[in-house]
Amino acid sequence: MKGLVSRLRGRHPWAMRQDAPRSGLIRRLPLLIIACTALAGAVFLRDDLSFQALGRHAEALTALRDGHPVLTAAGFVLAYAVMVALSLPGATLATLAGGMLFGLFPGVLFNVTGASLGAVGVFLAARAGIGADVAARLAAGGGGAARLLERLRRNEWSALLVMRLLPVVPFFAANLLPAFAGVRLWPFAATTLLGILPGALILTTLGSGLAGVLSQGGAPDLSVLTSPQVVLGLSGLAALVALPMVWRALRPRREGME
């Protein structure tokens, strides 16, 4: 267990050390900023992040895209990344808007890039703050939490992909929990990009036909996201990805029986 603690602290060079202690407030500042902006966004931006608001601005956004395509694409990706990094509401709406403005392709590319960059921002903010300390304390405490942490460390790729594919864990929580578990940046970033791709494809496809719906004063039918076909498809992908974890868990028992 001491080895796990050392590895976790080694992964986090900015982790708190006895010879260079940092203020508790400073270490918590990134997460405090995210929490405050998320709360403010939920209270004050509710009306601005709606289908009705998107319908009011659809014509202006389309004209901006036609006049400045590169600038609009870059601004969209940046705005999406900031929205996710600050845990603001409206990620689904932004994904639909990406499909409306840019079509299925390159719309899905812009959507996935913006969401992934924002998720990495949240992950880094949490890890640079108290994430390293939380991971080290869990490992040092022993018990079930330390064993779960060790299993996650051995199955980073599979566990993170399953977390992204199954809509059981909210998106913002799936950005924070790996930071608290001491997950490495590269597996987190790669599995985020791959794991959100199926859902992004569905929403971007819906968004590609959104302009006509909004022009008639309607709203997109998002019930497809909870349809049996989509749920079973994502569950099947998650089960396939989880097979390596199941194999590693069962292998010691099989070896012990032989």
17 three-class SS: strand
pLDDT tier for residue 21 given thresholds of 50, 70 and 90: very low
Cα–chain center distance at 149: 20
Which of the given ranges, 34-48, 140-154, 203-217, has the highest pLDDT on average? Answer: 34-48
pLDDT tier for residue 3 given thresholds of 50, 70 and 90: low
Which has more pLDDT, 127 or 66? 66
Residue type, 257: M
The per-residue pLDDT for range 179-212, each reduced to its tens digit, is: 888 788 999 999 999 999 998 998 898 888 877 6
The average confidence (pLDDT) of the chain is 77
* Predicted pLDDT of residue 151: 67
Considering the entire predicted model, what is its pTM? 0.76
The residue to which tokens 């019930």 are assigned? 223
* Predicted pLDDT of residue 24: 64
Which of 91, 96, 114, 111 has the alpha carbon at shortest distance from 203?
A: 96
The residue to which tokens 């966004």 are assigned? 41
The per-residue pLDDT for range 232-251, each reduced to its tens digit, is: 666 666 666 665 555 555 55
3-state SS string for 176-229: HHHHHCCCCHHHHHHHHHHHHHHHHHHHHHHHHCHHHHHHCCCCCCHHHHHCHH
* Predicted pLDDT of residue 162: 84
**Mean of pLDDT values over 163-184:** 81
The residue to which tokens 């497809």 are assigned? 224
* Predicted pLDDT of residue 176: 83
Distance between CA 49 and CA 91 in Å, rounded? 9
Per domain, the residue ranges of the chain are: 2-257
* Sequence-ordered list of residues with C-beta below 8 angstroms from that of 183, at least 6 positions apart, any chain: 152, 153, 156, 160
Report the chain's terminal Cα–Cα distance, integer Å: 28
Helix 69-85 to helix 51-67 angle (10° resolution) is 140
pLDDT tier for residue 104 given thresholds of 50, 70 and 90: very high
Residue 257 has pLDDT above 50, yes or no: no
Which has more pLDDT, 158 or 100? 100
The number of helices, as runs of H, and strands, as runs of E, in the chain is: 13, 0
